[in-house]
């Protein structure tokens, strides 16, 4: 393995000398930070380090929902989090999307404003009543200026062909993107902005002084004036704050003829989520079946959760329909007891932006913008 000290004059001078900003992690946050830094500093030398041969966390593995709050999620959050924080998070997610589209035009990542439905299963007490829908519509209007963001859609079950669902609540503003296209588009734009992304370089430890930061990596030490940690679920090694890795598993079916399911859907208070990708269904979730086991940095799928996901397809989402599973994978999120990201300076020249939970599509670019504004 060639170490940085053995590189040529040319390689060292282009990639490893006089670095103004060194960003660790090439997910949505890392790449957004780099792009916003470029808007601010035309001539700065900006480098992103990524330990995987692709971005290897959550940004290239997620479901692609541009979601900012389903009724049952809001209902639950309001029980445990104070009201102003709940609506601040809603506003950050809603406005965060605008920030994403400021960087990456929505049509280049197949954004569709397809709406979302929050499904209430049969046989349970439905806690969402018209009064609560009235309340969340009033709050949502204060943020979005749009009337009736939420409404009960009693015909959804029949229209989409579901089984064992008593009713559904539609959020008319949520939508979906193509996750692969987002990462590819971000990468393309970093290259165009003369930002280097170095894959296969893992940051191991860091020390800093008044002049800057020295980052030890698996390829040798790198000096930089400023450093930004954007490693989300893998951030525990850098900070003492409340952050843990949280694995999330996903399956995608084969192409299904005459698929009725079109849009994005939340189920069982957001523990499950699904959408169509063309004529396929992408379904994820089930962390609640094994919180302890899913608190891990290991990219694996488990029979317990995969079986539950398949059952949901068979009995609820596409009942009485033949299907097979063409893809199964997992990704790692960063979570804590509270929902908001950790966003702060660690010292004069090091910033951190992590703990995006299941909200990074909407929040990631806004976090990147805030990180860039620290410098």
Q: With contacts defined by CB under 6 A, name the span among 3-11, 57-65, 113-121, 220-228 that binds ligand FAD.
A: 57-65
Q: How far apart are CA 195 and CA 198, in angstroms?
A: 10
- Contacting ligand FAD within 302-341 (CB under 6 A): 331, 333
Q: How far apart are CA 374 and CA 28, in angstroms?
A: 18
Please report how close the Cβ of residue 200 comes to ligand FAD at its closest, in angstroms: 9
Q: Which is nearer to ligand FAD, 144 or 216 (CB)?
A: 216
Q: Which is nearer to ligand FAD, 309 or 356 (CB)?
A: 356
Please report how close the Cβ of residue 131 comes to ligand FAD at its closest, in angstroms: 29
Q: How far apart are CA 85 and CA 63, in angstroms?
A: 25
Binding flag, residue 202, ligand FAD (CB under 6 A) = yes
146 in Cβ contact with 140 (< 8 Å):
yes
Burial class (CB in 10 A: 0-12, 13-18, 19+), 367: buried
Burial class (CB in 10 A: 0-12, 13-18, 19+), 47: buried
Residue 110 in tokens: 């197949």
Binding flag, residue 245, ligand FAD (CB under 6 A) = no
Binding flag, residue 186, ligand FAD (CB under 6 A) = no
Q: Which is nearer to ligand FAD, 126 or 204 (CB)?
A: 204
Judged by CB under 6 A, which of 16, 22, 47, 64 binds ligand FAD?
A: 64
Please report how close the Cβ of residue 74 comes to ligand FAD at its closest, in angstroms: 16
Nearest to 317 by CA among 171, 160, 195, 210: 160
Nearest to 21 by CA among 41, 2, 1, 39: 41
Binding flag, residue 285, ligand FAD (CB under 6 A) = no
Beta-sheet pairing, 244-253 with 280-285: antiparallel
Q: How far apart are CA 170 and CA 34, in angstroms?
A: 36
Binding flag, residue 19, ligand FAD (CB under 6 A) = no
Q: For 131, list phi and psi in degrees, rounded to 5.
A: -65, -40
Binding flag, residue 57, ligand FAD (CB under 6 A) = yes
Binding flag, residue 215, ligand FAD (CB under 6 A) = no
Q: With contacts defined by CB under 6 A, name the span among 1-9, 19-27, 74-82, 219-227 that binds ligand FAD.
A: 19-27
Size of the site for ligand FAD (CB under 6 A): 41
Binding flag, residue 187, ligand FAD (CB under 6 A) = no
Site string for ligand FAD, 30-49 (x = CB under 6 A): x------------------x
Beta-sheet pairing, 175-176 with 325-335: unpaired
Binding flag, residue 190, ligand FAD (CB under 6 A) = no
State the virtual CA torsion across 285, 289, 293, 299 in degrees, nearest 10.
-20
Binding flag, residue 270, ligand FAD (CB under 6 A) = no
Binding flag, residue 228, ligand FAD (CB under 6 A) = no
Residue carrying structure tokens 């609506």: 87
Q: By CB under 6 A, name the binding residues for ligand FAD.
A: 24-30, 49-52, 55-59, 61-65, 67, 202-203, 230-234, 248, 250, 284, 331, 333, 356, 358-362, 364
């Amino acid at each position: 393995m060639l170490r940085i000290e053995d590189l040529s004059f040319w390689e060292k001078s282009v990639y490893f000398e006089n670095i103004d900003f060194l960003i660790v992690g090439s997910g949505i946050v890392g790449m957004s930070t780099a792009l916003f830094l470029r808007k601010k500093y035309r001539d700065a030398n900006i480098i992103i380090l990524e330990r995987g041969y692709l971005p290897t966390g959550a940004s290239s593995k997620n479901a692609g929902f541009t979601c900012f709050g389903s009724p049952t999620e809001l209902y639950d959050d309001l029980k445990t989090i104070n009201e102003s924080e709940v609506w601040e998070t809603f506003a950050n997610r809603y406005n965060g999307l605008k920030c994403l589209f400021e960087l990456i035009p929505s049509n280049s990542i197949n954004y569709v404003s397809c709406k979302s439905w929050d499904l209430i299963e049969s046989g349970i007490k439905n806690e969402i009543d018209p009064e609560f829908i009235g309340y969340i519509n009033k709050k949502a209007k204060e943020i979005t200026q749009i009337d009736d963001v939420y409404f009960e859609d009693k015909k959804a079950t029949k229209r989409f062909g579901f089984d064992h669902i008593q009713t559904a609540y539609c959020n008319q503003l949520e939508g979906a993107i193509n996750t692969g296209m987002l990462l590819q588009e971000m990468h393309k734009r970093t290259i165009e902005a003369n930002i280097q992304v170095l894959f296969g370089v893992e940051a191991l430890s860091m020390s800093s002084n008044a002049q800057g930061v020295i980052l030890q990596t698996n390829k040798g030490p790198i000096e930089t004036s400023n450093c930004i940690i954007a490693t989300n679920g893998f951030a525990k090694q850098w900070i003492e704050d409340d952050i843990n890795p949280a694995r999330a598993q996903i399956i995608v079916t084969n192409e299904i003829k005459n698929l009725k399911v079109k849009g994005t859907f939340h189920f069982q208070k957001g523990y499950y989520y699904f959408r169509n990708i063309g004529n396929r269904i992408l379904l994820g979730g089930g962390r609640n079946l094994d919180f302890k086991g899913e608190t891990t940095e290991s990219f694996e799928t488990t029979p317990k959760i995969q079986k539950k996901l398949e059952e949901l397809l068979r009995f609820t989402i596409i009942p009485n329909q033949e299907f097979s599973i063409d893809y199964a994978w997992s990704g790692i999120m960063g979570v804590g007891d509270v929902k908001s990201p950790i966003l702060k300076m660690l010292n004069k020249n090091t910033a951190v932006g992590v703990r995006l939970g299941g909200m990074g599509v909407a929040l990631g670019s806004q976090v990147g913008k805030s990180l860039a504004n620290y410098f």
